[in-house]
């Protein structure tokens, strides 16, 4: 069916609801947070390859990742909530692709919660190669496969999503709020990591002595 120009313009305007940037603004927040995650996860990946000399960096960056990951889950959770509560801009945008939301997203979210949950839980148990470290490693394998696919699928969209709020011509309402949220998540992450890092001291000693 051929739609009139007014209908098409009307639709895209609704997706960009005044004030918040609407569904398109939400996608940009998700994308910009994804860009920050890629940078921090790349550093985390290097520490895994050289875990003994880089265990301190592993723990610090892992803790620093917590607020940006929470922001990513918050932004995507908001899209999910708005879609299922029939918010018009989100219904017009539609849900993510069936394969992505049914097969990939649930293990991405669950394995992420497990990797971070077991990482932080290690602070409250005595250092050693027990069940927590085992679960940390197993959930990492699931995480790597599923999140690797997730990133590969979304990577082509990333430059446009993450840069549009920085260009005057393509800026949407609340661009500053979105960029501010991403920068703040990194800053809060750094403070959180600095404040809790000392709790990992026994593990850092154990890793250095063990290998």
Q: Quick one: 5 or 198, whose CB is closer to ligand HEM?
A: 198
Work out how close the CB of 178 gets to ligand HEM at its nearest, in angstroms, rounded to a whole number: 13
> What is the binding site for ligand HEM (CB under 6 A)?
27, 30-31, 34, 37-38, 44, 48, 51, 55, 58-59, 62-63, 65, 69, 72-73, 76, 79, 96, 100-101, 104-105, 108-109, 112, 115-116, 119-120, 122, 133, 136-137, 140, 143, 147, 150-151, 154-155, 157-158, 161, 200, 203, 207
Comparing CB distances to ligand HEM, the nearer of 2 and 75 is: 75
**Token reading at 156:** 């082509």
Supply the minimum distance, in Å, between the C-beta of residue 103 and ligand HEM. 10
Residue 195 beta carbon to ligand HEM: minimum distance, rounded to whole angstroms: 13
Least gap, CB of 41 to ligand HEM (angstroms)? 6
When the beta carbons of 5 and 86 are compared against ligand HEM, the nearer one is 86
């Amino acid at each position: 069916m051929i739609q009139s120009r007014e209908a098409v313009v009307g639709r895209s305007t609704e997706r960009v609801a005044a004030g918040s940037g609407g569904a398109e603004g939400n996608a940009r927040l998700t994308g910009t947070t994804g860009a920050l995650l890629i940078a921090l996860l790349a550093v985390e990946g290097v520490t895994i390859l050289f875990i003994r000399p880089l265990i301190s960096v592993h723990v610090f960056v892992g803790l620093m990742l917590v607020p940006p990951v929470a922001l990513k889950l918050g932004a995507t959770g908001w899209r999910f909530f708005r879609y299922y509560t029939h918010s018009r801009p989100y219904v017009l945008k539609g849900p993510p692709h069936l394969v992505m939301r049914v097969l990939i997203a649930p293990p991405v979210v669950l394995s992420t919660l497990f990797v971070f949950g077991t990482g932080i839980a290690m602070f409250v148990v005595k250092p050693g190669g027990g069940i927590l470290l085992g679960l940390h490693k197993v959930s990492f394998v699931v995480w790597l496969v599923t999140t690797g696919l997730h990133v590969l699928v979304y990577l082509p969209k990333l430059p446009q999503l993450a840069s549009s709020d920085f260009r005057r011509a393509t800026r949407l309402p609340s661009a500053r709020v979105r960029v501010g949220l991403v920068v703040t998540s990194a800053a809060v992450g750094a403070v959180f990591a600095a404040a809790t890092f000392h709790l990992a001291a026994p593990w850092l000693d154990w890793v250095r002595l063990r290998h």
